[in-house]
């Protein structure tokens, strides 16, 4: 006799749910495709029974039949970065109520890894994609062409998006922040850059434009290393070595800026009197510093939310215009410039 204690529990089936609710498998299937396809009272019954049984919907049969997966693939450069945690909150604020699931993958700012991750997501027959880059490998472009699904490139405003784009003008944002520093009398401002991803390079362009327009010489201190607080101090010390009269640093993000501010204070420099410090993304760490960190406020949650809304409209068969949505930025001067 087999000991039932060691048998693998049977996975509840669609029929089990239908029997418990007292309806047909077809009704349960409609609910799984879109809860709005069944009556509200039935929705509540089905949800309660599924929770009770621990039912896990299987999408494999739908995929084999070329049906919709009701899943959206989301490519993020980092799963730990607070910037993209905000984007995810915006996305899920829209997708969850609509009955769509998000499949996340990260690529570490690496184009080849992005290519592999997109291949994996497409193998799950996702209905749409949200990408965090606007420059892709040739193979990625071919895969996306063949897949022919709606997609949104987020965080930037490219001239020629693959489909749709939602973001902000990073060069303009950087120029505005440096202009704010110049307006406060700073003249020897360096740009501290890390990782050298596309958005870092766009901010570098904005920094250069502001400095050159003011008749000043740009100084960019950069590294391919990923951002952290310690690196901010390292880059600041190098900038001071190259430019002893340094009186300001614009940093590619708030991690670098926070590290630079703390290192400046440790060196006995008064911020902002002797050294102005500014960052980008207005993260929590900057709000906790004294003085409060000046930063570019980026609409990250709004970007995620709009990207998801546009995809759902496309999936519903709507034509979406314009293709590029610029959600802008704000300058928070804090107390550090």
What CATH number did the domain enclosing 322 receive? 3.40.50.2300
Domain membership of residue 337 (yes or no) is: no
d(CA 208, CA 253): 17
Domain membership of residue 3 (yes or no) is: no
100 in the same domain as 206: no
144 in the same domain as 193: no
Domain membership of residue 66 (yes or no) is: no
249 in the same domain as 152: no
Q: How far apart are the first and last CA of the chain?
A: 78
247 in the same domain as 182: yes
203 in the same domain as 284: yes
Domain membership of residue 131 (yes or no) is: yes
232 in the same domain as 115: no
Mean pLDDT (the chain, rounded):
92
With bands split at pLDDT 50, 70 and 90, how would you rate the model's confidence at 90?
A: very high
With bands split at pLDDT 50, 70 and 90, how would you rate the model's confidence at 8?
A: very low
Domain count for the chain, please give it: 3
139 in the same domain as 156: yes
293 in the same domain as 186: yes
- Please give the residue range of the domain that contains residue 251: 170-297
- The CA-CA-CA angle for residues 210, 201, 311, to 5°, reads 110
With a cut of 60, say whether residue 5 has pLDDT above it: no
179 in the same domain as 293: yes
142 in the same domain as 83: yes
Residue pair 82/43 in contact (Cβ under 8 Å)? The answer is no
322 in the same domain as 179: no
d(CA 290, CA 293): 8
CB neighbour list of residue 299: distance below 8 Å, 6 or more residues apart? 168, 327, 328, 329
With a cut of 70, say whether residue 64 has pLDDT above it: no
Q: Parallel, antiparallel, or unpaired: how do β-strands 276-280 and 248-251 relate? A: parallel
Q: How many residues does the chain have?
A: 337
Which residue blocks in the chain are alpha helix, DSSP H? 14-21, 25-33, 40-53, 60-64, 82-95, 111-123, 138-147, 170-183, 198-213, 229-242, 254-266, 284-288, 300-315
Give the count of beta carbons closer than 10 Å to the beta carbon of residue 123.
9
Domain membership of residue 161 (yes or no) is: yes
With a cut of 60, say whether residue 62 has pLDDT above it: no
What integer pLDDT is reported at residue 3 of this predicted model?
44
187 in the same domain as 85: no
Q: Residue 277: what are its φ and ψ, rounded to 5°? A: -135, 130
């Amino acid at each position: 006799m087999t000991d039932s204690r060691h048998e693998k529990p049977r996975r509840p089936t669609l029929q089990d749910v239908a029997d418990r609710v007292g309806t047909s498998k077809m009704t349960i299937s409609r609910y799984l495709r879109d809860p709005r396809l069944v009556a509200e009272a039935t929705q509540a019954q089905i949800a309660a029974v599924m929770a009770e049984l621990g039912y896990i919907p299987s999408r494999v049969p739908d995929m084999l039949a070329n049906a919709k997966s009701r899943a959206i693939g989301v490519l993020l450069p980092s799963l730990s970065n607070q910037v993209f945690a905000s984007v995810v909150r915006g996305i899920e604020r829209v997708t969850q109520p609509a009955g769509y699931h998000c499949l996340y993958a990260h690529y570490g700012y690496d184009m080849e890894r992005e290519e592999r991750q997109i291949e994996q997501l497409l193998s799950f027959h996702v209905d749409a994609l949200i990408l965090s880059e606007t420059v892709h490998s040739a193979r990625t472009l071919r895969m996306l062409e063949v897949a022919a699904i709606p997609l949104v490139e987020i965080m930037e405003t490219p001239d020629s998006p693959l489909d749709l784009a939602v973001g902000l003008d990073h060069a303009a944002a950087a120029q505005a922040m440096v202009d704010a520093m110049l307006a406060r009398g700073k003249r020897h401002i360096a740009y501290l850059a890390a990782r050298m991803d596309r958005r870092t390079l766009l901010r570098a362009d904005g920094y250069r434009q502001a400095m050159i327009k003011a008749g000043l010489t740009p100084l960019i201190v950069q590294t391919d290393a990923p951002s952290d607080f310690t690196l901010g101090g390292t880059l600041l010390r190098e900038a001071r070595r190259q430019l002893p009269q340094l009186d300001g640093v614009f940093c590619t993000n708030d991690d670098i800026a926070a590290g630079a501010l703390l290192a400046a204070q440790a060196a006995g420099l008064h911020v902002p009197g002797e050294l102005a410090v500014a960052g980008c993304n207005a993260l929590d760490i900057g709000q906790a510093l004294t003085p409060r960190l000046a930063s570019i406020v980026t609409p990250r949650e709004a970007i995620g939310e709009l990207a998801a809304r546009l995809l759902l409209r496309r999936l519903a068969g709507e034509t979406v215009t314009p293709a590029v949505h610029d959600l802008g930025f704000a300058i928070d001067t804090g107390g550090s410039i």
